[in-house]
Chains A and B, each alone.
Chain A
Amino acid sequence: MISIKDMSKKPVRLTEGHRLCAGCAEPIVAKQILLATDKPVVVANATGCFEVSTSGFPQSAWEVPWIHTAFATAASTISGVEAAYHSLRRKGKINEDIRFLAFAGDGGTYDIGFQALSGAIERGHQFMYVCMNNEAYMNTGIQRSGATQRGASTTTSPSGEHIPGKREFPKDLTKIIAAHKLPYAAQASPHNWKDLISKAAKGFEANGPAFLNIIAPCPRGWRYDSADTIQMAKLSVETGMWPLYEYENGKWNLTGETKRIAEGKMERRPLIDWLKAQGRFRHLLDPANKAVVDDIQENLDADWDELLRLTKL
C-alpha cells in the first residue's frame, strides 16, 4: 500500500471545479477509486448527481476518457467499451493495458440498472463497477430507492401522520451480486480510505468483473451538516449499518472497523447514534415510532449475525 504522500503526487484524474455540493461524498469516493491504479482507465457513468455535476457541456472535470449514455446503462455501456477493447486488441489496433470502470448511484445500480449490471457480470466482462450509495435518488430530489433504509424520510416516502418514512428494508445488493459468483465484490466507505483503495486495487486487477458498493453520505438527502460527511460514513460502519467486507473468489472476509468489532477489539456503536445524526430519521426519535427503531435494530442484528456466519464458513 502506498502512502498518502505518494498518492498526492499522482496525476489528478477528476479535477476540481465540478458542481457537486459541498460535502458530497461522491467525488471523494471517485478520487480514492482512481488512485487505486496507475493503468489507463476508461470510465462509464450512469445518469445521476455525479454525472450531471462533472460533465456540463462544454466543460468536463474528467481527465480520463469518459462516457455517459443513460440512467440504466453504466454496466451495458462499459460492456460495449470493453468488448471494443478486446476486439481491437485482437486486431492489433490497441496495445495499452486498459482498465474499465463504471460509476453509478444506488438508483442506477439497485433499481433501474440492475438488469444491465447482472447481465454484464454474468457475461464476465472485465470491469469494475462502483455503486456510490447515498441511499436515495438524490439528483431528482431525494426520492426513495431500493437502497433506502427502513424508516428514512424521503420525498416519495415522507414521514407523515400515518406512515413513518420508508416501510421496506433495502435489498442486500452486495450479497445479490456475490451470488453471481464473480471474482470480487466488496463494501467500502470513504472514511477508511486505505481499506477502500486496497479493495479498489483488487477490483481493478480481478480477473473478471468486480463490484464495489460504497456508502456515500449526502448532506442534502440525509440532512446533516456538510462538514460531517466523513463522520457520517464512519458512523455507518461503526454502528454496523454499513459493514465493511469483501467477497473474494468465493471467500467472505471482514475488513476495517467491522473486523475489529467482530474480533472484540472495538465496540459496535449503538444504532441510535446513527439515527440521531441524520435529519431523515428525526421522526424515529418520537417514542410513538419506537416499533420502527426496534425493527431496524432486529434487522441489523440478524444481518450482522449472518455476515459473521458467512465469514466463518
Chain B
Amino acid sequence: MKRLAMNGDQAIALSWKQIDPDVVASYPITPQTIIVETYAEYVANGEVKTEYVCSESEHSSMSMCIGASAAGARSATATASAGLAYMWEMLYIAASMRLPVVMTVANRALSGPINIHCDHSDSMGARDSGWIQIYAENVQEAYDNSIMSFRIAENMDVRLPVMNCLDGFIVTHAIESMAPLEDDVVKKFIGDYEAIHPLLDVKSPHSHGPFDMPEYYYEHKYGQQMAMENALDVIRKVSEEYAEISGRKYDFIECYRCEDADYVAISIGSTAGTMKQVVDDLREEGHMVGSIKLRLFRPFPFEDVAKMLNGRKGVAVLDRAMSFGASAPLFADVRSATFDNDSRSPTFSYIYGLGGRDVGVEDLKRVYYDMENGTAETVNYLGVKL
C-alpha cells in the first residue's frame, strides 16, 4: 500500500470513490466542503458512477438519502454543524426506517454565536437520533471508519444509519500521511448492496414509513434498540475483518499506557492523539497516567468502559460539548457505565475546546495534575477565561 499525503475531507472523498455509492446527495458547509467538492470532481471526470445530487438544503439531502436508500440504492452524504441540525427531523426518520445511510460529520460548533471551528456539539446533539456514531482521531482513521461504516450499517442484524465523525479543521483540513487500500480490496470488502423491499421492485409493492399508532410504535422503537445492541458484535467483527485487509485493528475504546495507570482521562476524536503526547511527557516525569480514546459513542460500549475504568484513583472525562444545565454527554455515559463497578473511581468532568478553542499539551496536563492534587472539581471548564 502506497502512502499518500491528504487531509481528512479528501480521505473521505477517496473512500467514497472506492465504494462508489449509488447516490450521494449533499449540501456544502464548512469544514465538510472539500468532501463534496472533491467528489464532484470524481463525478465530473467520470471516475465514479454515482448519481450525485446537489440538494438545496441538508433537510433535503437527508430526505433524498432516505428516498434513495428505500428505493434500493447505497447512499451517502456529509455535513457539519448547522447542516446536521437542519437535518434533525430526518435523522430520526432515517433510523426508524432502518435505512443504512452513511453520513460523514465534520464536527463543528453549533450556532449561535455562529462559529465554524471544531467541537462536538453537532453530533452530540444528535446522539439520541438512533444513528451509530463513530469518531476518528486522525486522517487514516477517518478513512478507515468511512469504509467500515457501510459494512456496519448494511449488516442485516443492524440496518441502522451510521455517522462517521471527524474533527472539523483539525482532521478535515490537516494534511497527514495515510495509507489507502487498493480499490479492488475496498470493493470486495464492501460487497454488493442488499436492499430490503426496495421501492424500485415494482412487482412487489411495499409501503415505507407508514403512520404508526400506540399499539405498534413502542415495538418499533424497541427494534431499533435491539439493532443498536446487535451493532456491538457486528462492529467488532467488521473491525476484525478490516484488520485482515489493512493491518489496522480498531476497537470500541483504545487505551494508551493504561495498564498500570492510576489516573486516566477519556476523550473523543483528535484530542486523544494529543493525549498520547501528554501521557508520554507525564510518564517521563514519573506520573502514573494513561489515556483512553473512545471511538464508538453509539452504541455506547458500556462494558468495555466500565472494565477499563474500574479501580483507578481518578478518571477525567473530556467533553467537547455541553448539555446546558446537566452533565456533558460523554461524562454522563461514562459515569453511568462505571456506576456498578466494584471499585468505582472518582470521576471528573472536563469541558474543553468549544468553538475551536485551542487545547494544547500543557492545558491537558492540568487535567492529570488536578486529579493528583485533589483539586479537580466534579465539573471543570478547562481554559475558560473568566
Contacts and interface: CB of A to CB of B under 8 A. Distances in A.
Interface of A: 40-42, 44, 51-52, 55-58, 60, 62-70, 72-73, 75-81, 83-88, 90-91, 93-94, 96, 98, 115-116, 118-120, 122-123
Contact of B54 (A63, A69, A86, A123): A123
Interface of B: 22-23, 25, 49-51, 53-57, 59-60, 63-73, 75, 89-90, 93, 97, 199-202, 205-213, 216
Contacts of B89: 70
Contact of A116 (B60, B66, B75, B97): B60
Contact of A42 (B57, B97, B200): B200
Given A57-B210, A68-B209, A115-B56, A83 B200 contact: no
A87 B22 contact: yes
30 contacts: A42-B200, A57-B212, A57-B213, A64-B205, A65-B199, A65-B200, A65-B206, A66-B206, A68-B209, A69-B97, A72-B59, A73-B60, A75-B60, A79-B25, A79-B55, A79-B63, A80-B69, A80-B75, A83-B68, A84-B199, A87-B22, A87-B73, A88-B71, A88-B73, A90-B51, A91-B49, A93-B72, A116-B60, A116-B63, A119-B57
B206 to A, nearest CB: 6
B22 A68 contact: no
A86 B73 CA distance: 10
Contacts of A66: 199, 205-208
A51 B60 contact: no
Contact of B67 (A51, A84, A122): A84
A60 B68 CA distance: 21
B46 to A, nearest CB: 12
A212 B70 CA distance: 25
B93 A85 contact: no
Contact of B208 (A52, A67, A75): A67
B238 to A, nearest CB: 25
Given A67-B209, A68-B209, 12 more contacts: A52-B211, A64-B205, A65-B200, A65-B206, A67-B208, A76-B55, A77-B63, A83-B25, A116-B59, A116-B60, A119-B60, A123-B54
Given A68-B210, A77-B66, A80-B23, A85 B205 contact: no
Contact of B63 (A56, A58, A80, A90): A80
Contacts, number: 171
Given A73-B90, A83-B53, A65 B205 contact: yes
Contacts of B205: 62-66
Contacts of A96: 200, 202
Contacts of B209: 55, 67-69
Nearest to A85: B200
B95 to A, nearest CB: 12
Nearest to B67: A80
Contact of A60 (B50, B72, B210, B212): B210
Contacts of A123: 53-54, 56
A79 B67 contact: yes
B85 to A, nearest CB: 15
Contacts of A64: 202, 205
Nearest to A125: B53
Contacts of B64: 76-77, 79-80, 83
A58 B23 CA distance: 30
B211 A87 contact: no
Contacts of A93: 72
B220 to A, nearest CB: 8
Contact of B72 (A63, A84, A115, A119): A84
Nearest to A59: B210
Nearest to B213: A56
A98 B200 contact: yes
Contacts of A51: 211
Given A40-B202, A57-B213, A85-B71, A62 B207 contact: yes
A73 B57 contact: no
A69 B93 contact: yes
Contacts of A68: 208-211
Contact of A57 (B49, B55, B65, B216): B216
